[in-house]
């Protein structure tokens, strides 16, 4: 008798879980988080939930969305203890019940980890980090509760994103963008990248003769030095190593205030 009751209870739990999933909207394996379902979906303690906080009119968000959907499909076939979601934060704030609420740029990616305590922990993916499928998959493998992993192809591993070449969104306060405007921006990304590459190569060609060589002298802080090694692209002309973003931080996200 007890066994039958237990079996019936397990069956009802499974049915309830299935009905719960049906109450959520899912776009291409990505759950749609809203103010209404945020607590039950994103803050579900039984699984990791990787959330993309985005804006529909943000070109950086639109560029990432296909990769996000591809990741969701790949991990869904591997495990059911991690799901992917998206939350449109363009006109609303992140609910106060969330352990993370500092939404300032789109897209922002936050992994909310499953837990057996009252409050979920979270890890924010670097806003200026590479958003290729391989890099995001590696982040999940390192940061998810169960170290979830997918097999990557050689092409996926070698993929290089082009977010550094995306032109930031520039609009007037009274101007509204529709889907066609966003599509036009995305279509021009590859063209812009080629133009930037050609311009950079031309500039390098014109300045080769000015690049310091071994034996050249330079003065720093009133002291004359002799250069021993050829300068490399990560150094200033006085031999001081450059930081990655010494000249300008690449634009990889749009501020919420810009949209």
Q: Who contacts 88 (Cβ-Cβ below 8 Å, separation ≥6)?
A: 54, 55, 56
Q: Do residue 23 and residue 90 come from a single domain?
A: yes
Query: What local confidence, expressed as pLDDT, does residue 109 receive?
Result: 96
Q: What is the per-residue pLDDT for 244? A: 37
106: which strand partners? 254
| Triad 74, 76, 103: Cα angle to 5° | 90
Average pLDDT, integer, range 206-228: 53
Shared-domain flag, residues 251 and 132: no
Q: With contact defined as beta carbons under 8 Å apart, do 140 and 131 qualify?
A: no
pLDDT recorded at residue 145: 93
Distance CA 251, CA 127 (A): 10
The answer to whether position 197 is within a domain reads: no
- How far apart (Å, rounded) are the C-alpha atoms in residues 139 and 125? 8
Residue appearing with tokens 């290729």:
132
Per-residue confidence (pLDDT) for residue 239, from 0 to 100: 39
C-alpha span between 139 and 34 (Å, rounded): 25
pLDDT in tens, 80-101: 899 999 999 999 999 999 999 9
Does one domain contain both 12 and 93? yes
Lowest average pLDDT, out of 28-37, 46-55, 93-102, 215-224, goes to 215-224
Number of other residues whose CB lies within 10 A of the CB of residue 160: 7
Asked whether residue 131 falls in the same domain as residue 8, the answer is yes
Question: Containing domain of residue 248, as a range?
Answer: 212-259
pLDDT at 15: 46
Beta strands 82-88 and 48-54 are parallel
- The C-alpha atoms of residue 124 and residue 111 are separated, in whole angstroms, by 6
Q: How buried is residue 105: exposed, middle or buried, by Cβ count under 10 Å (0-12/13-18/19+)?
A: buried
Which pTM value belongs to this model? 0.62
CA dihedral in degrees (7, 13, 15, 17; nearest 10)? -150
Q: Say yes or no: 108 and 216 in one domain.
A: no
Say whether 86 sits in a helix, a strand or coil. strand
Mean of pLDDT values over 247-252: 52
Residues 62-72, mean pLDDT to the nearest whole number: 95
Residues 129 and 241 in one domain: no
What 3-state DSSP class applies to 49? Answer: strand
204 inside domain: no
Cβ neighbour number for residue 256 with a 10 Å cutoff = 18
Averaged pLDDT, 9-31: 66
In this structure, are 13 and 126 located in the same domain?
A: yes
Domain count, the chain: 2
Asked if residue 220 and residue 147 are part of one domain, the reply reads no
As a whole number, the mean pLDDT across the chain is 74
Give tens-digit pLDDT for 149-179.
999 999 999 998 765 555 554 444 454 555 5
Phi, psi at residue 70, to the nearest 5°?
A: -65, -40
């Amino acid at each position: 008798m007890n066994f039958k009751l237990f079996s019936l209870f397990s069956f009802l739990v499974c049915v309830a879980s299935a009905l719960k999933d049906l109450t959520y909207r899912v776009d291409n394996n990505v759950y749609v988080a809203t103010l209404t379902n945020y607590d039950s979906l994103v803050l579900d303690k039984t699984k990791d939930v990787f959330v993309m906080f985005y804006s529909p009119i943000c070109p950086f968000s639109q560029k990432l969305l296909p990769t996000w959907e591809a990741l969701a499909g790949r991990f869904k076939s591997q495990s059911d203890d991690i799901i992917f979601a998206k939350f449109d934060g363009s006109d609303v704030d992140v609910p106060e019940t969330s352990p993370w609420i500092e939404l300032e740029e789109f897209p922002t990616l936050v992994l909310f980890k499953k837990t057996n305590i009252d409050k979920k922990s979270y890890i924010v993916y670097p806003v200026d980090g590479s958003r290729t499928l391989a890099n995001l998959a590696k982040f999940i493998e390192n940061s998810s509760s169960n170290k979830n992993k997918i097999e990557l192809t050689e092409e996926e591993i070698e993929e290089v994103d082009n977010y550094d070449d995306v032109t930031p969104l520039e609009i007037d306060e009274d101007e509204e963008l529709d889907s066609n405007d966003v599509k036009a921006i995305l279509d021009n990304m590859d063209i812009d990248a080629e133009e930037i590459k050609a311009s950079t190569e031309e500039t390098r060609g014109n300045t080769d003769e000015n690049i310091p060589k071994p034996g050249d002298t330079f003065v720093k802080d009133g002291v004359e030095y002799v250069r021993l090694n050829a300068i490399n692209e990560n150094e200033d002309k006085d031999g001081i190593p450059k930081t990655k973003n010494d000249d300008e931080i690449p634009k990889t996200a749009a501020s919420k205030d810009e949209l």
